[in-house]
């Protein structure tokens, strides 16, 4: 697998905190109320609250809790979570998963992405959390990428890969085949339209060998 990049060298009773071990985070005065999620707003400040009920947790809360259970190689989740929640203006979302964006890899090996997803479901009860070992962070905008890469160095990530707007537009818009058939010039308007979408802000993949 080619992963070379930029760095070298529920119920009310259930709580997200049961997944998050004993990591403590600074909380606001009302720990039971989630801050409003306004992705498009620069004033949006996510606040991870491990003691809240699962029924009020956001998807990001759940991803964060699962990430906090994962320890491998030199990967330590606590400093990562603390740094990201201290600088929410840098990111839209983050999660720990497989390397799933490299379609060329799957084509060469004959391994379909769905196989990875099914394996994650089968081993969902495993303490290793499906062997997820790639941290994905979607940046708030293009200008935030350098700051996130600097954080990756502080977290001692062995390597990173950036999925820019063009790459994400082709993948998420399923445009690759159409471009091959119709040509880049004919598909240029659709590609540019996808690149402007919020879901195509750059994503940084980080891993710890």
Q: Residue 98 falls within a domain, yes or no?
A: yes
pLDDT score, position 13 = 36
Q: Find the DSSP H helices in 59-175.
A: 59-68, 77-86, 103-109, 113-122, 145-154, 165-172
How many domains, in total, are found in the chain?
1
Find the domain containing 156 and state its range: 73-207
pLDDT score, position 127 = 56
CA distance 140 to 134: 19
List Cβ neighbours of 188 (8 Å cut-off, separation of 6 or more).
none
pLDDT score, position 192 = 95
Q: Residue 105 falls within a domain, yes or no?
A: yes
- 160 within 8 A of 185, measured Cβ to Cβ: no
- Could you say which residues of the chain have pLDDT below 50? 1-4, 8-45
pLDDT score, position 78 = 94
Q: Residue 175 falls within a domain, yes or no?
A: yes
pLDDT tens, position by position, 59-83: 899 889 888 888 888 899 999 999 9
Question: pTM for this structure?
Answer: 0.71
């Amino acid at each position: 697998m080619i992963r070379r990049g930029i760095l070298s060298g529920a119920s009310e009773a259930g709580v997200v905190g049961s997944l998050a071990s004993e990591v403590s985070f600074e909380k606001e005065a009302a720990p039971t109320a989630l801050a409003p999620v306004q992705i498009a707003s620069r004033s949006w400040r996510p606040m991870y609250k491990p003691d809240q009920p699962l029924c009020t947790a956001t998807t990001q809360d759940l991803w964060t809790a699962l990430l906090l259970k994962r320890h491998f190689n030199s990967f330590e989740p606590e400093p990562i979570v603390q740094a990201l929640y201290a600088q929410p203006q840098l990111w839209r979302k983050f999660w720990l998963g497989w390397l799933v964006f490299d379609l060329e890899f799957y084509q060469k090996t004959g391994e379909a992405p769905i196989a990875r997803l099914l394996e994650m479901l089968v081993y969902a009860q495993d303490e290793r959390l499906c062997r997820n070992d790639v941290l994905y962070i979607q940046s708030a905008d293009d200008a935030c990428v350098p700051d996130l890469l600097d954080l990756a160095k502080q977290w001692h990530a062995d390597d990173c890969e950036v999925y820019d707007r063009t790459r994400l537009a082709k993948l998420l818009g399923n445009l690759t085949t159409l471009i091959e058939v119709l040509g880049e010039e004919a598909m240029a308007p659709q590609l540019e339209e996808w690149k402007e979408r919020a879901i195509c802000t750059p994503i940084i993949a980080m891993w710890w060998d």
